[in-house]
């Protein structure tokens, strides 16, 4: 099926009433959790995952992905109006977005950010259509050695990019990999690290871990503050229209942000967050007045807001064509597909076209819904912010508890939830990013399986394993990304250190 044919078919799936409804629920929930600071899209996706078990896989994917990209729209609203990021992908937006609010241009900032998100979302969907198909064609030739290289390279890259020290990231990776080995060995059916527990033989389920680390932990942070009142700037409907000058200045940043975002999404790492920083830096460099950034420049809103939406689209490519999630959010989407017995990978597009194309088409529809939801109705979502935070925090905790239990009606999942909630809270206090652990927990079992299959194929030769052209390329690229920056810094540091040491020892 060609891209256009596929898309037409996809629309026939996405426009089914049940899928339209799922899409609407997804983007609505996404917008709300995006608007609310403290509760992010990943936690919300984990919470709603059990409710998708009874749905068709395409419907489940449409709804959960809607939460993910919907949150990118909602997050900017809070950044712009309250000077608090609604979610991590909107941190950069508040630099210039809130300054625009102070200058009375909140409406313009909101409109530009919604339109930018819409453009990037649409560009991203075209990107998925082209890239995923192409990558799937390439990936059909991949064997276990290549998949091993991709998972290993992905984990290494993610540790590099997740922010904070690489040592901390490696600690998280080690923990995730070790957790991934708990349970029945997939090849020999031997029980590992279960200490005799029958429930542990199933392994540590990803979802209560994610709910804990991204749901409970965030709520515990909210609980620190107790009752807090937020100051919200009001916006009138007729103030929403940007001036022709503002439109003109935003067009190129939106275009650049869309591309930057999509490309960042393809790479393992916290793509949505990272892409906004990259886009902001790019816009500042391209600007004739970089010194004015941070004082309410529309370019600083347009670029990053487009970028984070492009990134959510880009992140779907490795998931759909390789079956490999590089972020906690896509790990949940993978989980949703696996529950239905689907194995995302190069064959997904040809074997289950209704899932792939239905999902792609739903992203067009979802982005259109979001544009409508976020512009005229922005006032409605702002009232969500007026909901008392302590009530919200408590109810989210209760939902996490019920949600974790309903996954497999197991008390063990409840304990995992609470344990990882407290752990995630501690990590936030220590400023350590938990996402390498989550991704390693998902990729670990894949890595083990492919490693053992690959060694079996190469009769135990590690050289043959890594010397195949594709796996060697992937590993070299990952190593370069991992070791490149510290080496460059070291070399630069030496050059810089000399004059400094002269200055300090006259």
Partner 1 sequence: MLARAVPLVLLVAAGAYLILALRLPFGAAARPGAGFYPVIVAAFALVVALAATASAFRGAPGAEIPAAELDVAARRRVTISVVALLAFCLALPWVGYPAAAFVFVAVVLRYLGARWTTALLTGAASSAGSYGLFAVLLDVPLPRGPW
Interface with partner 1 (CB under 8 A), residue from 370, 378, 451, 466: 451
The radius of gyration of the chain's CA atoms, rounded to the nearest angstrom, is 23
Residues whose CB falls within 8 Å of the CB of residue 55, separated by 6 or more in sequence, listed in order: 18, 22, 63
Interface with partner 1 (CB under 8 A), residue from 193, 248, 485, 496: 193
Nearer residue to partner 1 within complex by CB, 21 or 193:
193
Interface with partner 1 (CB under 8 A), residue from 11, 247, 277, 415: 415
End-to-end CA distance of the chain: 73
Among 21-29, 267-275, 443-451, 478-486, the segment contacting partner 1 (CB under 8 A)? 443-451
169 in helix, strand or coil? Answer: helix
Residues of this chain, 145-184, that bind partner 1 according to CB under 8 A? 165, 167, 170-171, 173-175, 177-178, 181
Q: How far is the CB of 393 from partner 1 (least distance, A)?
A: 7
Q: Is 504 in the site for partner 1 (CB under 8 A)?
A: no
Interface with partner 1 (CB under 8 A), residue from 16, 240, 399, 481: 399
Residues whose CB falls within 8 Å of the CB of residue 196, separated by 6 or more in sequence, listed in order: none
Q: Is 444 in the site for partner 1 (CB under 8 A)?
A: yes
Interstrand relation of 183-184 and 191-192 (parallel, antiparallel or unpaired): antiparallel
Nearer residue to partner 1 within complex by CB, 225 or 245:
225
CB neighbourhood size of 427 (10 A): 18
Longest dimension (CA), the chain: 77
Q: Is 462 in the site for partner 1 (CB under 8 A)?
A: yes
Q: How far is the CB of 390 from partner 1 (least distance, A)?
A: 4
Nearer residue to partner 1 within complex by CB, 275 or 450:
450
- Report the candidate in 52, 123, 37 with the shortest Cα–Cα distance to residue 82: 37
**Token match 């990134």: residue?**
311
Nearer residue to partner 1 within complex by CB, 253 or 421:
421
Q: How far is the CB of 45 from partner 1 (least distance, A)?
A: 18
Interface with partner 1 (CB under 8 A), residue from 60, 123, 263, 397: 397
Q: Is 216 in the site for partner 1 (CB under 8 A)?
A: yes
Q: How far apart are CA 496 and CA 490, in angstroms?
A: 10
Nearer residue to partner 1 within complex by CB, 251 or 408:
408
Q: Are 335 and 443 in contact (CB under 8 A)?
A: no
Q: Is 418 in the site for partner 1 (CB under 8 A)?
A: yes
Among 31-39, 72-80, 122-130, 441-449, the segment contacting partner 1 (CB under 8 A)? 441-449
- Report the candidate in 101, 88, 3 with the shortest Cα–Cα distance to residue 382: 101
Q: Is 226 in the site for partner 1 (CB under 8 A)?
A: yes
Q: Is 202 in the site for partner 1 (CB under 8 A)?
A: no
Q: Is 472 in the site for partner 1 (CB under 8 A)?
A: no
Interface with partner 1 (CB under 8 A), residue from 2, 4, 17, 190: 190
Angle (CA) 80 84 90, round 5°: 65
- Report the candidate in 442, 449, 477 with the shortest Cα–Cα distance to residue 338: 442
Residues of this chain, 3-62, that bind partner 1 according to CB under 8 A? 51
**Cα torsion at 38, 39, 42, 46 (round to 10°)?**
140
Q: How far apart are CA 405 and CA 127, in angstroms?
A: 38
Q: How far apart are CA 243 and CA 76, in angstroms?
A: 20
Q: Are 240 and 101 in contact (CB under 8 A)?
A: no
Q: Is 220 in the site for partner 1 (CB under 8 A)?
A: yes
Q: How far is the CB of 452 from partner 1 (least distance, A)?
A: 5
Among 132-140, 224-232, 303-311, 346-354, the segment contacting partner 1 (CB under 8 A)? 224-232
Alpha carbon of residue 148 to chain centroid: 22
Nearer residue to partner 1 within complex by CB, 54 or 503:
54
* Cross-strand pairs, 191: 184
Total residue count of the chain as it appears in this document: 506
Q: How far apart are CA 164 and CA 144, in angstroms?
A: 32
Kindly list the residues in this chain that would bind partner 1 in the complex (CB under 8 A). Answer: 51, 165, 167, 170-171, 173-175, 177-178, 181, 185, 187-188, 190, 192-193, 216, 219-220, 223-227, 388, 390-391, 393-395, 397-399, 401-402, 405-406, 409, 411, 414-415, 418, 421-422, 425, 429-431, 444, 447-448, 451-452, 455-456, 459-462
């Amino acid at each position: 099926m060609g891209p256009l044919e596929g898309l037409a078919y996809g629309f026939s799936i996405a426009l089914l009433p049940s899928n339209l409804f799922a899409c609407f629920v997804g983007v609505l929930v996404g917008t709300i959790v995006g608007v609310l600071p403290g509760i992010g899209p990943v936690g919300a996706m984990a919470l709603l995952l059990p409710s998708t078990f009874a749905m068709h896989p395409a419907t489940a994917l449409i709804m959960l992905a809607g939460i993910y990209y919907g949150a990118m729209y909602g997050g900017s609203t809070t950044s712009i109006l309250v000077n608090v990021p609604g979610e991590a992908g909107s941190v950069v937006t508040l630099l210039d977005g809130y300054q625009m609010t102070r200058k009375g241009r909140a409406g313009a900032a909101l409109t530009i950010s919604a339109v930018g998100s819409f453009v990037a979302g649409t560009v991203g969907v075209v990107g998925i259509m082209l890239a995923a198909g192409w990558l799937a064609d390439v990936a059909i030739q991949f064997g276990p050695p290549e998949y091993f290289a991709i998972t290993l390279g992905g984990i290494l890259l993610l540790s590099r990019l997740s922010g904070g020290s690489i040592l901390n990231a490696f600690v998280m990776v080690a923990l995730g990999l070790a957790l991934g080995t708990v349970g029945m060995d997939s090849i020999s059916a031997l029980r590992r690290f279960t200490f005799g527990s029958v429930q542990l033989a199933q392994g540590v389920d990803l979802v209560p871990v994610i709910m804990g680390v991204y749901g409970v932990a965030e709520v515990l942070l909210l609980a620190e503050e107790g009752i807090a009142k937020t100051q919200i700037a009001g916006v009138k409907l007729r103030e929403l229209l940007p001036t022709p000058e503002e439109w003109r200045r935003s067009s190129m940043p939106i275009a650049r942000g869309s591309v930057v975002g999509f490309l960042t999404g393809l790479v393992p790492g916290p793509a949505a967050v990272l892409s906004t920083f990259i886009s902001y830096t790019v816009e500042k460099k391209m600007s004739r007045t970089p010194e004015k950034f941070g004082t309410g420049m529309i370019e600083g809103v347009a670029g990053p807001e487009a970028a984070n939406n492009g990134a959510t689209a880009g992140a779907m490519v490795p998931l759909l064509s390789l079956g490999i999630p590089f972020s906690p959010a896509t790990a949940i989407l993978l989980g949703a597909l696996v529950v239905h017995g689907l194995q995302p990978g190069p064959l997904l597009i040809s074997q289950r076209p209704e899932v792939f194309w239905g999902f792609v088409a739903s992203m067009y529809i979802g982005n259109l819904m979001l544009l409508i939801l976020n512009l005229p109705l922005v006032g409605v979502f702002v009232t969500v912010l007026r909901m008392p935070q302590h009530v919200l925090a408590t109810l989210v905790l209760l939902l996490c508890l019920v949600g974790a239990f309903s996954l497999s009606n197991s008390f063990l999942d409840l304990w995992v939830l609470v344990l990882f909630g407290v752990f995630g809270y501690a990590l936030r206090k220590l400023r350590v990013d938990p996402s390498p652990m989550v991704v390693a927990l998902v990729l670990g079992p894949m890595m083990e399986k492919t490693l053992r299959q690959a060694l079996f194929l190469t009769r135990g030769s590690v050289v043959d394993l890594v010397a195949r052209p594709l796996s060697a390329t992937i590993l070299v690229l990952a190593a370069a990304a991992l070791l490149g920056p510290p080496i460059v810094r070291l070399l630069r540091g030496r050059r810089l250190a000399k004059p400094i040491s002269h200055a300090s020892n006259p």
